[in-house]
């Protein structure tokens, strides 16, 4: 039992050291980052501008995310458009029905036109053959 307890205590001792190691790496990272920022300051203005661009990019990304958040409203708008479209489609289908009813009584002007063009084409063909 004492051995087990000793091993447990050793484990406990080893755990904090690993944690300390992690914190040390973090502090080192921070130092490195700081040095990098200092380097940036010493760098020419053009390169500094790049960092500024990065910040602006972040701003743009943020605005994009906000737009995505407000997507439901746009979706609602889309649905409204869909409903209006459906209404238009319905009216179009009704018009078609009326057209078909008219066709039953007699050929529409469109049909007459097509027939005329067909006859004209035939005439052209005959002319071409005559030549």
Quick one: how far is CA 100 from the chain centroid?
43
Instruction: Compute the distance between CA of residue 77 and CA of residue 16 in angstroms, rounded to an integer.
Output: 57
- Which stretch of DSSP H or E encloses residue 20? helix 2-42
Residue 58 has pLDDT above 60, yes or no: yes
pLDDT tens digit string along 60-111?
676 666 666 555 555 555 555 666 666 766 666 666 655 555 555 555 566 6
pLDDT tens digit string along 11-57?
655 555 555 555 556 666 677 666 666 665 555 555 555 555 666 66
The answer to whether the CB of 47 falls within 8 A of the CB of 40 is yes
Q: How high is the pLDDT of residue 96?
A: 60
Instruction: Compute the distance between CA of residue 54 and CA of residue 61 in angstroms, rounded to an integer.
Output: 10
Q: How high is the pLDDT of residue 91?
A: 67
């Amino acid at each position: 039992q004492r051995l087990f307890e000793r091993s447990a205590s050793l484990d406990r001792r080893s755990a904090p050291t690993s944690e300390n190691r992690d914190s040390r790496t973090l502090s080192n990272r921070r130092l490195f980052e700081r040095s990098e920022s200092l380097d940036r300051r010493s760098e020419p203005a053009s390169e500094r501008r790049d960092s500024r661009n990065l910040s602006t990019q972040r701003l743009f990304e943020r605005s994009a995310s906000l737009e995505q958040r407000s997507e439901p409203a746009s979706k609602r708008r889309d649905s409204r458009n869909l409903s209006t479209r459906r209404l238009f489609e319905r009216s179009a289908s009704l018009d078609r029905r009326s057209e078909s009813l008219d066709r039953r009584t007699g050929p529409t002007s469109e049909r007459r036109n097509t027939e005329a063009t067909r006859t004209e084409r035939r005439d052209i063909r005959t002319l071409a053959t005559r030549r």
